[in-house]
Amino acid sequence: MRIPRFLASSLSNRVALHSVVSFLGNGIARLGGLVVAIAVAAVFGANESTDAFYLALAVTLYAFDIARIAFEGAVIPSVAMYLTQGRHVVDAFLGAAAKYWIIAAGLICVAALGVGLPLASGSPGTGAQAIRYGAALSLVLIPLGLSGLGNAVLLAEKRFFVPAVSNAARPAFAVVGLLVLPDSWGLWSLIVGYVVGGVVQLVVVITVLYHRGYRWSLEGSLKEAHAPLKLALPIVIGGLLINLNPVVDRFIVALALPASNVTIFENAFRTYGALTSLLYSSIGVVLISHWSSMYARRQYSRLARSLRGVGVISVVALLPITAVLVIGAEPIIDLVLGRGAYESADVAITASTFVMFAIGLWPFFAAGIGSRFLYATGKTFIAVTTASIAVVANLIADIVLLQWLGLQGIALATSVTYALVSLYVLYVLWTSVGGMEGRSATVDDDSS
């Protein structure tokens, strides 16, 4: 049986191989993140302290998630172009970008430690404890951002395993901290592990880049980073907006529902993410790298066929996976979290919350992969529009569905939000792809 041409183009040997490599690396990292959730649930259960820990983690990683999205959407396409000009151009960009990240993240750390710690010092309650945890976790932002910058360069080179595996350092050392530090440290042992893991991750990434011939001088001006910054600005603005959603969700849960619900919500989300974002993240970084290269070479028709092929594959693969996750929610959650201090009642609530996330799997995939296609072709404006839609839709859905379904309503609001965002992204893709096919009549799109 002959494979349709547009489907074959999206399943090229290199894309398939890179996807497998990225999948294996991301599998290690995602498993590490899930192990942290399992360890916290087994040792501490679900209570006010674990709520505070997850609130702090959500707020602290807010800044890094914005940077990560910008790195994927702007740095990978820019470096793909820079690599055609020579590595010295990439070195100049790395020096400038690293310097300004250190300045920005350093200011956040100083503000968190200098203001947050004194503000919460000696105060009881979940909020004060979350501030203390968050102030300490801010120390991980500098190594995380620099690692993300280096990983973006490796991804632009189509080297996917190290960036994926290096992300496992943080959860791995968090678990080590929990095992080796005294019990009296409690959740602080995880925070120490996160910070140490962030430094280890940075050392690994810098070492790999050094052996690849890159040199970071921490010199340079905004001139060297002008092109990526121009692409990144709408992505950063979009990231500032859309990454508010998980933070807002958790704070609504903390304010409107009884203690332990933040932890239950987090565990449902982390289990869902470990099982599904693994696929999304692995394929996403591979595709944006390949699509960026195709666009730089003006292989527009090939780009359009690749996107259509990915769309067909996603429908065929993800709808059955969604059914399995919905039907098997309770056994999955019980297998992952049903041990130690995590009670059977917590398992049941976590499973029903997990179902609400699971039904939004395909819209989440479609919105994310579609946005990456547009980033790869320079249309980063989409980030601001989709984020604006997401913030408004998520807030309205949170308020309405919280009254109807409680904790499960907040999870369902996430799925509803991505359904709306995916509709807009698919519309923009439809208009963009049609324009590309019209431009590609004189382009040799069979070149590698």
Is 90 exceeded by the pLDDT of residue 441?
A: no
Q: Please tell me what DSSP assigns to residue 3.
A: P
Q: Token pair of 229, please?
A: 């910054």
Q: Token pair of 424, please?
A: 């807009």
> Is residue 146 within 8 Å of 175, Cβ to Cβ?
no
Separation CA 49–CA 347 (nearest Å): 18
Is 60 exceeded by the pLDDT of residue 31?
A: yes
Tokens 């769309």 locate to 311
Q: For residue 299, give the 3-state DSSP assignment.
A: coil
> Is residue 300 within 8 Å of 440, Cβ to Cβ?
yes
Q: Please tell me what DSSP assigns to residue 139.
A: G
Tens digit of each residue's pLDDT (9 = 90 or more) over 258-277 = 999 999 999 999 888 877 76
Distances (CA, A) of 309 to 217, 287, 389: 42, 12, 27
* Residue 9 confidence class, pLDDT cut points 50, 70, 90: very low
Is 60 exceeded by the pLDDT of residue 194?
A: yes
Ramachandran assignment for 260, one of left (phi > 0), alpha (psi -120 to 50 degrees), beta (any other) = left
Is 50 exceeded by the pLDDT of residue 4?
A: no
* Res 347: pLDDT: 94
Tens digit of each residue's pLDDT (9 = 90 or more) over 213-233 = 887 777 666 565 566 666 556
* Residue 2 confidence class, pLDDT cut points 50, 70, 90: very low
Number of H helices, E strands in the chain: 21, 0
* Res 34: pLDDT: 81
Single out the residue of 412, 410, 431 nearest to residue 420, CA to CA. Answer: 412
Mean pLDDT over the full length of the chain? 81
Among 134-143, 152-161, 180-189, 319-328, which is the least confidently predicted range?
A: 152-161
Is 90 exceeded by the pLDDT of residue 446?
A: no
* Residue 384 confidence class, pLDDT cut points 50, 70, 90: confident
* Residue 3 confidence class, pLDDT cut points 50, 70, 90: very low
Q: How would you class 108 by CB atoms within 10 Å of its CB: exposed for 0-12, middle for 13-18, buried for 19 or more?
A: middle
Q: Token pair of 195, please?
A: 């910070």
Q: Degrees (nearest 5) of the Cα angle 80, 363, 355?
A: 125
* Residue 16 confidence class, pLDDT cut points 50, 70, 90: low
Task: Residue count of the chain, please give it.
Answer: 448
* Residue 13 confidence class, pLDDT cut points 50, 70, 90: low
Q: For residue 222, give the 3-state DSSP assignment.
A: coil
Is 50 exceeded by the pLDDT of residue 443?
A: no
Q: How far is C-alpha 364 from the geometric centre of its chain's CA atoms?
A: 12
* Residue 387 confidence class, pLDDT cut points 50, 70, 90: confident
